[in-house]
């Protein structure tokens, strides 16, 4: 039941290969996000799905049909861009009505559909305005209404909230997610903002230099990153590099410059070089010795952030470990010698 399928899709501009062997199956009604740093190939991927750009090799199918077989206007796919791309000389009504007008739909049908869309994006009463008389958030709502009016099966959105300020962006994230759920339309959404991706998506494809490093639910990506890049890109993480020195019941001893630590992992061998990712919130800090393993450190500083306190610990190799806590009564002071530990199941071993 996949609605959009990419099979070994590649794209080169001259000698520059920007998308490499990409495979994705987007499910019907899913909110799937392409997330990655600027220049990793997100827009190019979206433009290929939209049919604005031709793949150098591979196959792209929408509802089981290859997209090359269809003219752009025949495709059940619409796109919303960051810069809205509204027609400046047209009213809100005419902007939203555009797709039905060029299809020469009857006037009363157009009026009824536009009305429905105005209600959907909460812009009733704005139909006569020109885009220049709208705020950024309102313009983006018009762009979304315009893209939804002909009932596309799939909506592609390329950093649609990128031009909005933080507060409005957060509000629109929630609105857009609700809208998507309500309509049941498949969204393929592009952003470089990891928090936005975690907030909105059913699944996230993490892209790096034209490759999908991981495609999974937000929770799996956060808790079980499969590459060092993903661990570092999503959320805050401490990443320690080391060598496996012992393996007992899927718990690895790993020798690192900061000391020997423990992490759960299977399929690793003694002597293998690995990375260990541990989230700041899973780190325990204590003055007293702890059972199991511990690393020695010294409290460096506290950053009070309202709901959490973030702390850095200097390790013996001069690296720095971040940890965060929700209890705010400070039981440590800067300069205190402490023992760092964690539940090995909370840390992630990465090849
Ligand atoms: P993202 O959206 O992730 O920031 P893009 O898909 O826009 O990345 O770009 C990926 C790479 O492809 C970049 O290096 C960019 O310069 C290059 N690129 C994109 N479009 C073109 C084009 N039309 N011609 C040449 N290079 C391009
Ligand atoms: Mg882009």
C-alpha of residue 301 to centroid of ligand 2, in Å: 37
Verify whether ligand 1 is closer than 6 Å to residue 42 (CB atom).
yes
Is residue 295 within 8 Å of 253, Cβ to Cβ? no
C-alpha of residue 296 to centroid of ligand 2, in Å: 43
Separation between Cα atoms, residue 238 and residue 235, nearest integer Å: 10
Separation between Cα atoms, residue 232 and residue 192, nearest integer Å: 14
pTM confidence score: 0.90
Ligand that lies nearest to the alpha carbon of residue 39, given by its number in the listed order: 1
Q: Nearest CA to 12 among 61, 52, 57?
A: 57
C-alpha of residue 33 to centroid of ligand 2, in Å: 13
Interstrand relation of 203-208 and 57-62 (parallel, antiparallel or unpaired): unpaired
Which of 16, 44, 194 gets mutated to test ligand 1 (max ligand atoms within 8 A of its CB)? Answer: 44
Q: List the chain pLDDT tens, one digit each, 351 residues.
A: 899 999 999 999 999 999 999 999 999 999 999 999 999 999 999 999 998 899 999 999 998 888 877 776 677 899 998 877 899 999 999 999 999 999 899 999 999 999 999 998 899 999 999 999 999 889 999 999 999 998 899 999 999 998 888 988 999 899 999 999 999 999 999 999 999 999 999 999 999 999 999 999 999 999 999 999 999 999 889 999 999 999 999 999 999 999 999 999 999 999 999 999 999 999 998 888 888 899 999 999 888 777 788 888 999 998 999 988 776 555 788 899 999 999 999 999 999
Domain architecture of the chain: domains with CATH: 2-231 (3.40.50.300), 236-350 (2.40.50.140)
């Amino acid at each position: 039941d996949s609605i959009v399928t990419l099979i070994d899709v590649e794209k080169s501009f001259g000698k520059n290969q920007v998308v490499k062997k990409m495979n994705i199956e987007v499910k019907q009604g899913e909110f799937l996000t392409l997330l990655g740093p600027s220049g990793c190939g997100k827009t190019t991927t979206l433009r290929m799905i939209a049919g604005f750009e031709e793949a150098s090799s591979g196959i792209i199918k929408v509802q089981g049909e290859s997209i090359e077989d269809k003219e752009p206007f025949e495709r059940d796919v619409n796109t919303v861009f960051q810069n809205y791309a509204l027609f400046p000389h047209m009213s809100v009504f005419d902007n939203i009505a555009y797709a039905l007008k060029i299809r020469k739909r009857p006037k009363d049908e157009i009026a009824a559909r536009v009305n429905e869309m105005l209600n959907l994006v909460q812009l009733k009463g704005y139909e006569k305005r020109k885009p220049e008389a709208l705020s950024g958030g309102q313009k983006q709502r018009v762009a979304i209404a315009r893209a939804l009016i002909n009932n596309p099966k799939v909506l592609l959105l390329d950093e649609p909230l990128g031009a909005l300020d933080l507060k409005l962006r957060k509000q629109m994230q929630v609105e857009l997610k609700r809208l998507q759920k309500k309509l049941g339309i498949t969204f393929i959404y592009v952003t470089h903002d990891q928090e936005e991706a975690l907030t909105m998506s059913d699944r996230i494809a993490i892209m790096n230099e034209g490759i999908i490093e991981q495609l999974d639910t937000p929770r799996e990506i956060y808790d079980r990153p499969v590459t060092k890049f993903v661990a570092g890109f999503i959320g805050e993480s401490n990443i320690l590099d080391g060598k496996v020195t012992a393996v007992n019941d899927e718990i690895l001893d790993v020798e690192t410059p900061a000391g020997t630590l423990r992490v759960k992992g299977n399929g690793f061998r003694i002597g293998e070089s690995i990375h260990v990712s541990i989230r700041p919130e899973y780190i325990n800090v204590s003055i007293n010795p702890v059972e199991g393993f511990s690393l020695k450190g010294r409290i460096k500083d506290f950053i009070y952030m309202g709901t959490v306190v973030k702390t850095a610990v200097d390790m013996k190799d001069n690296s720095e470990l971040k940890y965060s806590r929700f209890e705010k009564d400070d039981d440590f002071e800067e300069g205190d010698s402490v023992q760092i530990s964690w539940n090995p199941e909370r840390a992630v071993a990465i090849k």
